[in-house]
Amino acid sequence: MNHGWPDEYTLRAALTLAVRAPSVHNTQPWRFRISDHDIHLYLDSTRAHQSSGIDQRDAVLSCGAALHHLRIALAAAGWSAVVHRLPHPADPNHLASIELVPHRPTMLEHALNSMILRRQTDRRPFSSAPIPPGYLGLVSERAATLGASIRQAVDTTRERLVEVLRAAPDPGAGYRLDLAEWSGRPVTRDGAPARSVPLYSHPGGVPGMVGAPRQAGPDFAELLVLGTTTDDRLAQLCAGEALSAVLLTATNVGLATCVLTEPLEIPELRQRIRVGVLDERAYPQAVIRIGWASADVAALPVASRRPLADVLDPFEAAAC
Ligand SMILES: Cc1cc2nc3c(=O)[nH]c(=O)nc-3n(C[C@H](O)[C@H](O)[C@H](O)COP(=O)(O)O)c2cc1C
């Protein structure tokens, strides 16, 4: 038995959980490579969504979420990840190399690990039951440990945020086109399942992005803005890790979540959120709807993922 490196089963199991991470439009823009003593994570720029902008921010965030999922899955399996982020400046798509050391899993790691298969993007309206402040404190704390901040948009800040979201162009234009391409199909290996996709904005919901099935009622989601103090690729990668921690933590206390980045892809709107919601102290990386799923709603369909063989380098797949 090799005490310095996990066996193939453990690696495959951890990677299978890693690819359950959320990604923009379920594009799954990641690639993994396993060498003798490291796991490498790459941004697959061929999968990066065209609406992610030149800096591919959303795709890097998605890879950050996969990196955090991987770290949690490995930790729960008894391996602590020592992560070197952007190890080769000449290759910005090489997002991380990960060394592993034996580790005794904590209760928290076990808890978050068991949330990976339970977390889902929920675009439906949330119920009016309040969220205990301690829960929001907890998600902020988890984001902070990974280098990101959470700002809950309340009162006038919320009004300002909603106003900005309302200023976003009708998602019908770009978003519905994208949905047709990536998500309009029934459950597929990429794209979102058709039933969990917004059909159109609900008047009571967050405008511009989060629609609801025609029969759904008003939306009482709280709005959180995840921010970072810098806005380079490293900050975006860390923001993705923090995003994953927030979503898994929320799932663990029973809260439903939905990530929104579509409005942030418009520089002017992103700047308005930076100024009007984050007081210019942080760069907004994602808006997160969070709340309680209504009790009477049916289970969400699960968004599929590409098989591991599609995202793990074939040569290394044989080696692991
Ligand atoms: C960086 C990022 C940006 C996202 N942006 C949006 C968005 O603007 N609107 C939306 O409805 N979902 C958004 N999502 C959620 C994805 O569509 C979702 O994760 C994907 O379809 C997989 O589904 P799942 O989260 O249920 O596993 C985003 C996810 C990530 C990680």
Strands 39-43 and 30-34: antiparallel
Residue 198 lies in a domain: yes
Question: In terms of domains, do 89 and 159 share one?
Answer: no
Question: In terms of domains, do 168 and 272 share one?
Answer: yes
Residues constituting the chain: 320
- Mean pLDDT (whole number) for 240-248: 98
Percent of the chain at pLDDT exceeding 90 = 70
Q: What is the DSSP string of 140-170?
A: HHHHHHTT-EEEE--HHHHHHHHHHHHHSPP
Question: In terms of domains, do 102 and 161 share one?
Answer: no
Q: Which ligand 1 atom sits nearest the alpha carbon of residue 196? A: 26
Q: Is the Cβ atom of 168 under 6 angstroms away from ligand 1?
A: no
Complete edge-to-edge strand list for the sheet that includes strand 79-85: 30-34, 39-43, 94-102, 79-85
Which structural domain, as residue segments, surrounds residue 249? Answer: 133-291
How many independent structural domains does the chain possess? 2
Confidence bin at 48 (pLDDT 50/70/90): confident
Question: In terms of domains, do 140 and 108 share one?
Answer: no
Give me the pLDDT at residue 262, please: 84
Alpha helices (H) in the chain, listed in sequence order? 8-18, 57-76, 107-115, 133-145, 155-167, 174-178, 233-252, 267-276, 308-311, 314-319
**Ligand 1 pocket test target in 19, 20, 23, 266 with most atoms within 8 Å of CB:** 23
**Distance set, CA 195 to CA 144, 153, 183, 186, 256 (Å):** 33, 28, 9, 8, 16
83, β-bridge pairs: 98
Tell me the pLDDT tens digit for each residue of 220-233. Answer: 999 999 999 999 99
Burial of 38 (0-12, 13-18, 19+ CB in 10 A): middle
Tell me the pLDDT tens digit for each residue of 107-134. Answer: 999 999 999 999 999 989 999 999 999 9
Neighbouring C-alpha atoms within 13 Å toward the C-beta of 206: 32
Question: In terms of domains, do 140 and 273 share one?
Answer: yes
98, β-bridge pairs: 39, 83
Specify the 3-state DSSP secondary structure of 287: strand
How far does the centroid of ligand 1 lie from the alpha carbon of residue 6, in Å? 31
Give me the pLDDT at residue 185, please: 41
How far does Cα 7 stand from its chain's mean position? 28
Question: In terms of domains, do 81 and 138 share one?
Answer: no
Question: In terms of domains, do 168 and 261 share one?
Answer: yes
Q: In which residue are the tokens 């823009």 written? A: 29
Tell me the pLDDT tens digit for each residue of 173-215. Answer: 444 444 444 443 444 556 655 444 443 344 445 543 444 444 4
- The residue that leads in pLDDT, 320 or 14, is 14
- Mean pLDDT (whole number) for 258-269: 92
Burial of 46 (0-12, 13-18, 19+ CB in 10 A): exposed
| Confidence check: pLDDT of 73 > 80 | yes
> Which residues lie closer than 8 Å to 219 by C-beta, 6 or more apart?
125, 126, 202, 204, 205, 206, 210, 212, 289, 291
Tokens of 131: 């969220």
Q: Is the Cβ atom of 264 under 6 angstroms away from ligand 1?
A: no
Give the DSSP H/E element, type plus range, for residue 32: strand 30-34
Question: In terms of domains, do 154 and 98 share one?
Answer: no
Q: Is the Cβ atom of 58 under 6 angstroms away from ligand 1?
A: yes
Strands 283-291 and 222-228: antiparallel
Give me the pLDDT at residue 46, please: 87
Residue 125 lies in a domain: no
Residue 124 lies in a domain: no
Give me the pLDDT at residue 295, please: 75
- The residue that leads in pLDDT, 135 or 166, is 135
Residue 213 lies in a domain: yes
| Confidence check: pLDDT of 284 > 60 | yes
47: CATH: 3.40.109.10
Given a contact cutoff of 8 angstroms between Cβ atoms, the answer to whether 219 and 290 are in contact is no
Q: Report how far residue 285's alpha carbon sits from residue 155's, in angstroms, rounded to the nearest whole number.
A: 21
Among the ranges given (22-36, 38-52, 196-210), the one the predictor scored with the smallest mean pLDDT: 196-210
Residue 100 lies in a domain: yes
Residue 219 lies in a domain: yes
Question: In terms of domains, do 95 and 193 share one?
Answer: no
The CA-CA-CA angle for residues 168, 174, 176, to 5°, reads 105
| Confidence check: pLDDT of 56 > 70 | yes
Question: In terms of domains, do 109 and 140 share one?
Answer: no
Question: In terms of domains, do 58 and 158 share one?
Answer: no
Confidence bin at 91 (pLDDT 50/70/90): very high
Residue 2 lies in a domain: no
Residue 126 lies in a domain: no
Percent of the chain at pLDDT exceeding 70 = 79
Question: In terms of domains, do 169 and 274 share one?
Answer: yes
Q: Is the Cβ atom of 231 under 6 angstroms away from ligand 1?
A: no
How far does the centroid of ligand 1 lie from the alpha carbon of residue 52, in Å? 12
